[in-house]
Chain A
Amino acid sequence: MNIYKAPVVSNQKIGKLTYLLKAYSPEIANNISPAQFCNIKVSESDFPLLRRPFSICDVDDKHIYFMFDIHGEGTRMLAAKNEGEKIDVLSPLGKGYALDDDYDTAVLIAGGIGAAPFPFVTNYLKGKKEILSFIGGRSEENIITYGFENYVIATDDGSSGFHGNVIELFKSRLNSFQKERIKVFGCGPNPMLRALKKLCIGENINAEISVECAMACGFGICQGCPVENTEEHEKYSLVCQDGPVFNVKDVII
């Protein structure tokens, strides 16, 4: 865990609201795992004051990639970063997906900007496991396919792919899997994760989800990002330190 000043190499708009920022940082690239995250200070001033957490989207030998939607002033400022400008990155943070377990098929389920960690996941798993991806969004313009392989799409309004939410789509395909030989990796808004958790627990499918939460520090000192856990009711888990990835059996969202 350290702070790095990473120069921006490119910052591309890849969707209606979605950006892909590439920055140079071999130190981060070689010390981070899929679904871990970085906490980025997007300005040098007190506005915004706090860092903003971003899932690591992908890496190559020398570069790190972040995928984000413009949601507020912080992401607007990040989207405006030009080549050569430096971003202030605290990394690596949190625990990523356990991708090396004993299973045959990785089922990646993304909702909206929850697609962010999956290019790295996909690259990591390539050649090791079979991959099938389910990508969901409100409408066609919210569907992010960057970095995915072997995917199907679901939109709430039916403008692209399956008409309905991504969990319903996954459920409709369940019969085509050998349930005990798959592992599900989910990332997206809480209602989606809740539905996924319910489905996977009901069907006895091994699943991990990456949970989103507002946070200040990103490494456990502010205690600002609690999540209810199923084991110890006397205590919350922290999304930043104990997560952001949890087994669906371990958290209540």
Chain B
Amino acid sequence: MSVDLSIEIGKLSLKNPVMLASGTVGYGNEISEFMDLSKIGAIVTKSVSLKPRKGNPPQRIVETPSGMLNAIGLANVGVEEFVKSKIPFLEKVNSTLICNIAASTIEEYVECTRILHSEECIKGFEINVSCPNVKEGGLVFGNDSSAVGRITEKVRAVTDKTVIIKLSPNTASITEFAKVAKQEGADAVSAINTMVGTSFDIYSRKPKIKNITGGLSGPAIKPVALAKVLEISRNVDIPIIGIGGIMNWKDAVEFTICGATGIQLGTVNFINPFAALEVIEGMERYLKEMKLGSIEELVGTYQL
């Protein structure tokens, strides 16, 4: 018996629900040394912004219990250079490409999307309204549902490709944000971005990362991410892409059961660059074992 792993998000059909999360695979070049990228559902690029961003000074990362804090600061080459130097590689990768976009103003989100809309190899956009590590934009938007609504509406107006809004867990009610995103025409939401955290050296009494706070990722945040996915799933009728500490196929299945149509792998790519392929194989085996013909039959099948 073969199982159907394909999913649909807006106009996008993905061959399976496993995506590589933004900021954890660069633009795909390095990870392509480990695996055939055509086998995975989609690659979500490192955030692209209108202008190049140098990113934060070191130290940018530190390991914490079952997780890591990062404050990269959206280091990226900027949209112009992205089109010039990264797109040619990405065109050759036989994988679905979703471009993550970050900005400090609503106009920048729109302009960046508009420029990239005309690139044929980009099949969709993930709008990062929730980066915790930049001073302007980022979380300011992620904490203001009316701003997220305006960004969604304006981005939607310049592209008919799939638009996904990446939500912050650092809010009182994620449901409110998912509702606004849906209302303004988003095709899906991804949840969650990293959680704000910090870590100090007890001898120097200094923060272990230069930015003082960073975004917590890894297995440590999985229960939070699952709860957020479940909350959205129970309250808003919109496809959800689950992200947060997924390390293996069992985690991916758990997110699917809690309502995630697709899932993204992040921190695990740093540790095991083959993880995406292992997750796809594991999900397939699980569906067979459970005698399910497709992944869609599993989405949101929680028994409360």
What is A's interface to B at a CB cutoff of 8 Å?
Answer: 1-3, 41, 46-51, 90, 213-217, 219-228, 234-236, 241
Contacts and interface: CB of A to CB of B under 8 A. Distances in A.
- Chain B: interface residue count, which band? 35 or more
Interface in B254-293: 267, 269-274
B60 A225 contact: yes
Contacts of B26: 220-221, 223
Interface of B: 23-26, 30-31, 33-34, 46, 52, 54-63, 65-68, 70, 72, 75, 218-219, 247, 267, 269-274
Contact of A224 (B66, B72, B269, B272): B72
Contacts of B267: 49, 216
Contacts of A225: 58, 60-61
B61 A222 contact: yes
Closest 4 CB pairs of A and B: A224-B61, A217-B270, A216-B270, A46-B66
A50 B270 contact: yes
Contacts of B57: 226, 228
17 contacts: A1-B33, A47-B65, A49-B68, A49-B267, A49-B271, A50-B271, A214-B59, A216-B270, A221-B270, A224-B60, A224-B72, A226-B58, A226-B60, A228-B57, A235-B52, A235-B54, A236-B55
Contact of B24 (A41, A48, A50, A222): A222
Most buried by A among B55, B63, B67, B269: B63
Contact of B218 (A1, A49, A213, A228): A49
Nearest to B31: A221
Nearest to B25: A221
Contacts of A214: 58-59, 61-62
Contacts of A228: 57
B54 A236 contact: yes
A210 to B, nearest CB: 16
A213 B219 contact: no
Given A50-B270, A51-B271, 16 more contacts: A46-B66, A46-B218, A46-B219, A49-B68, A214-B58, A214-B62, A215-B61, A216-B70, A221-B270, A222-B23, A223-B23, A223-B26, A223-B46, A223-B72, A226-B55, A234-B54
B271 A223 contact: no
Nearest to B269: A221
Given A49-B66, A49-B68, A215-B61, A3 B272 contact: yes
Given A49-B219, A235-B52, A219 B66 contact: no
Most buried by B among A3, A46, A51: A46
A215 B218 CA distance: 15
A217 B217 CA distance: 14
Contact of B75 (A50, A223, A227): A223
Given A49-B218, A234-B52, A235-B52, A222 B66 contact: no
Given A41-B271, A49-B63, A217-B269, A223 B247 contact: no
A214 to B, nearest CB: 6
B134 to A, nearest CB: 14
Contact of A216 (B46, B68, B272, B274): B68
A3 B67 contact: no
Contacts of A215: 61
A221 B271 contact: no
Nearest to B208: A214
A46 B247 contact: yes
Nearest to A1: B33
A212 to B, nearest CB: 11
Contacts of B24: 221-222
A226 B61 CA distance: 10
Contacts of A234: 52, 54
A215 B60 CA distance: 9
Nearest to A227: B58
Contacts of A46: 66, 218-219, 247
A222 B270 contact: yes
B220 to A, nearest CB: 8
Contact of B63 (A1, A50, A220, A223): A50
B75 A226 contact: yes
B72 A213 contact: no
Nearest to A224: B61
